[in-house]
Each structure stands twice: as C-alpha cells, then as structure tokens.
Structure 1
Amino acid sequence: MILIGGSFGGSRGARPVPPEKGIFPLDHLHECDLAKKEYIACLKSSGYQSEKCRHLSKKYLECRMERNLMAKQDLSELGFHNATTDLSESNSNNQSGSSPGKSTSTS
C-alpha cells in the first residue's frame, strides 16, 4: 500500500506535535511591550552584552507568564539561577543604599 503525503511531505491524518518550547502566543494586546522595549534599549546601550540586561529579560518573561502568553515555569529552568539573580539585585540595592527591612547580621 502506498501512502500519499500531505503538503510539505507530511502524512495526511498524522496529528502534529507542538514543540516543547519556542512557540508561544504573540502579544497581540501589547501587554508586555514596555518590558520588551526596556530590554531592547538596554541591549543597544550595552553594546548587545545580554548579561548586563539579564534582569530585564527576566522581567519580560515574568510579564509573559503572568498574562498567560507562555507556560508558567520556574525561572531557574529558563537559566535564571538564584546566584545570578541575587547578584544583579544586590548590585542595584548597593547602588541605592541598603534596604531598611534587611538584616546584615551573621549570627
């Protein structure tokens, strides 16, 4: 028996399997445009050194997850490990002074 393939070589009747990651709904309502624009501006101003804009890429992904534009998942699975995130947050806190609610005792 000879099966005739569908368009682009696919078999007719075969159910497509969506990719795990990489394709997600577009932001038609522009809900995360501000976060996206901040990230792109940071990339341009830093000479496209993405590590300097990591906090903004995290903010953008969080925005997409909050608005169901991508599956919710732990940010550590997306490459945002606590050490890196804590380092960038502590640098921004050190520049603006210490936070009033944080204790720095070592006991």
Structure 2
Amino acid sequence: MGKGKIGAQCAHAAVGILGRYRGRHEAVFRQWEASGQPKIALKVKDEEAMADLAERAQQCGLMCYIVRDAGRTQIAAGSQTVLAIGPAPKSRVDQVTGHLPLM
C-alpha cells in the first residue's frame, strides 16, 4: 500500500473501533481522548500474523477491530489491512504488540 492508502486504512481502524466499542466503554474512550488520543503504528508480517494478534488481544480482554478493504483502489477486496487494539493502558497493549517494530 502507498502512504496515503496506509493513512486512510489507519483512519478507518480508529473510526471502526470507536463505532464498535464506544457505547459500551464510554469512560475508557473519554480517558483516551483526555490523554491526547495516543496512537502507535506498528508493522506485522502478513494477514495471518495480524489475525493472531487480534486473537491474542481478545484473549487479553482488549478491544480490537480489523479493517477489511473494499478493493476499490490498490488491494484486493476483503484484504485485512489494519488492526486497531485499544484504547487501553500501554502496558496491556504491549503484552500483545511489544515485540513489533514501528512503521
């Protein structure tokens, strides 16, 4: 994916996780907003690794959301492009993602 496409997919992930969880976890999202809405972009090897991370995040009780592309531009429809995890304390997210390199 090009840089613009990556940025758009990350935005989809942020909006997606808000839409899926905000109603049930309002206090968590308010705290996240009050702390500047931190976000960190990390690299994964492939879709399989992303799915494994999502499973681990769920097992740890973390909110997560996988973006599946519509296929209108650079990649095939249904491709998993971005996994959002959180918001949650950094220490909890790092239990799942701490081994990954920054983008």
TM-score by length of 1: 0.26
TM-score by length of 2: 0.27
By percentage of residues, which structure has more strand?
2
When Rg is computed on C-alpha atoms for both structures, the one with the higher figure is 1
Higher-RCO chain (CA-CA 8 Å, sequence separation at least 6): 2
